[in-house]
Amino acid sequence: MTALQFPTAPRRRSIGARRSPDTERAVLTAARQLLAERGYSGFSVDEVARRANAGKPTIYRWYPTKADLFIAIYAEEKTAAVPTPDTGSLSGDLLAYTQSLWRFWRAHPAGRTVCALIAEAQASEAALGALRGKFLPERTLPVRLLFERAAARGEIAREEIETRLQLWIGFNWFRLLTADIDAEEALPATMRIIAAPHT
List the interface residues with DNA, window 116-135 (CB under 7 A). 124
> CB-side exposure of 122: number of CA atoms within 13 Å?
6
Q: Which residues contact 103 (CB under 8 A, 6 or more apart)?
A: none
User: Distance of alpha carbon 27 from its chain centroid, rounded?
Assistant: 17
Separation between Cα atoms, residue 79 and residue 59, nearest integer Å:
23
Count of chain residues binding its own copies (CB under 8 A) = 46
Can residue 8 be called a binding residue for DNA (CB under 7 A)?
no
Tell me which DSSP letter residue 86 carries. -
**Looking at 131, 143, 146, 150, which residue binds its own copies (CB under 8 A)?**
131
**Looking at 103, 160, 181, 184, which residue binds its own copies (CB under 8 A)?**
160
Q: Is the Cβ–Cβ distance between 194 and 168 less than 8 Å?
A: yes
CA angle 41, 43, 112 (to 5 degrees): 75
We find the least distance from the C-beta atom of residue 32 to its own copies, in angstroms, to be: 17
Can residue 1 be called a binding residue for its own copies (CB under 8 A)?
yes
Q: Which amino acid, residue 184?
A: E
Can residue 36 be called a binding residue for its own copies (CB under 8 A)?
no
Can residue 26 be called a binding residue for its own copies (CB under 8 A)?
no
**Looking at 3, 13, 14, 80, which residue binds its own copies (CB under 8 A)?**
3
What are the start-end ranges of the E strands in 64-156? none
Residues that bind its own copies (CB under 8 A): 1, 3, 39-41, 50, 115-116, 118-119, 121-124, 128, 131-132, 136, 159-160, 162-164, 166-167, 169-175, 177-180, 186, 189-190, 192-194, 196-199
